Amino acid sequence: MNLNRRILSCIILLFLLALICIIGVLEKEKLPVSGRAVKKDAGKKIALTFDDGPHPFYTQQLLKGLKERDVKVTFFITGKNVEAYPEIVREIHADGHLIGNHTYNHTQLSSRNQESFKQEIIKTNEAIRKVTGEDTIYVRPPYGSWNKEFEKELNMFPVLWTIDPLDWCSSDVSCIVKNVCARADENDIILMHDQYKTTVTAALKIVDRLTEKGFEFVTVDELMFD
């Protein structure tokens, strides 16, 4: 090989190496733009919600576990239970969780009870305000039955759910955990009930597992107005 050819070979080799380096840098810069990398960095928000409480025993167990993990959730409580367990409602509020309205008697809205349903919402709001000193603007209508006109009339926002693991009819903790974790995605709202020991255990496991996967637990207001 003469000198010219050697020089030419070296130049081609250097050019190829430079090309490989440039492609490598471009690919690296492309990475955060797509896929889960960006989501993970930003923290995928997800909300745990608990209906029908507070429960005289299980709610406090749940509060303890949530405090240990520094996680905030949302409780949709009935007016009847607010009056029965005001000290637990006070604890929920003091721990920084969000409180929402779940009617006074856990009543399902129908075409025949529009007015009394509205009164239940108002009565529950008053009971919550009496205990926490704060108004709530979030309502989870039992069974998801709602009348859009109430939003303006009562100045309340309905909060439904995207994941329902049917925790109330299962005594299998790992089944509930798997059901939620397999489906969990950014901005999901998980429906649970702090009325059972299995729910408390499953909920805390869900928190641990999804936190490990890069999820950040928030109260529902953060998902609705973000």
Active centre residues (catalytic):
51, 193
Positions 91 through 120 that interact with Zn ion (CB under 5 A): none
DSSP alpha helices (H): ranges in the chain? 3-30, 36-42, 58-69, 79-84, 86-94, 114-132, 149-154, 173-183, 197-212, 220-224
Per-residue burial over 177-212, b = 16 or more CB atoms within 10 Å of its CB, e = otherwise: bbbbbeebeeebbbbbbbbbebbbbbbbbbbeebee
100 burial type by CB count under 10 A (0-12 exposed, 13-18 middle, 19+ buried): buried
Nearest CB to Zn ion, comparing residues 60 and 101: 101
Which range binds Zn ion by CB under 5 A, 23-31, 138-146, 174-182, 196-204? 138-146
Minimum gap (Å) between residue 193 Cβ and Zn ion: 7
Instruction: Compute the distance between CA of residue 40 and CA of residue 111 in angstroms, rounded to an integer.
Output: 45
| By the rule CB under 5 A, 167 interacts with Zn ion | no
Judge whether 120 and 105 are in contact, CB under 8 Å.
yes
Q: Is 51 in the site for Zn ion (CB under 5 A)?
A: yes
Number of residues this chain uses to bind Zn ion (CB under 5 A): 3
Provide, rounded to whole angstroms, the least separation between the CB of residue 184 and Zn ion: 21
Minimum distance from residue 196 beta carbon to Zn ion (Å)? 13
How are beta strands 44-51 and 189-193 bridged, if at all? parallel
Of 1-9, 32-40, 111-119, 137-145, the window that binds Zn ion (rule: CB under 5 A) is 137-145
CB of 142 to Zn ion, least distance (A): 5
- Among 52, 120, 167, 194, interactor with Zn ion by CB under 5 A: 52
The conformational region for residue 210 under phi > 0 = left, psi -120 to 50 = alpha, else beta, is alpha
Q: Is 194 in the site for Zn ion (CB under 5 A)?
A: no
Quick one: 52 or 167, whose CB is closer to Zn ion?
52
Q: Which stretch binds Zn ion (CB under 5 A): 11-19, 51-59, 61-69, 107-115?
A: 51-59
Asked if residue 97 lies in contact with residue 74, where contact means CB atoms within 8 angstroms, the answer is yes
In the set 142, 159, 167, 177, which binds Zn ion (CB under 5 A)?
Answer: 142
**Which residue is at the shortest CB distance from Zn ion?**
51
148: its two tokens: 């859009």
Instruction: Find the part of the chain contacting Zn ion (CB under 5 A) among 39-47, 64-72, 109-117, 135-143.
Output: 135-143
Residues that bind Zn ion (CB under 5 A): 51-52, 142
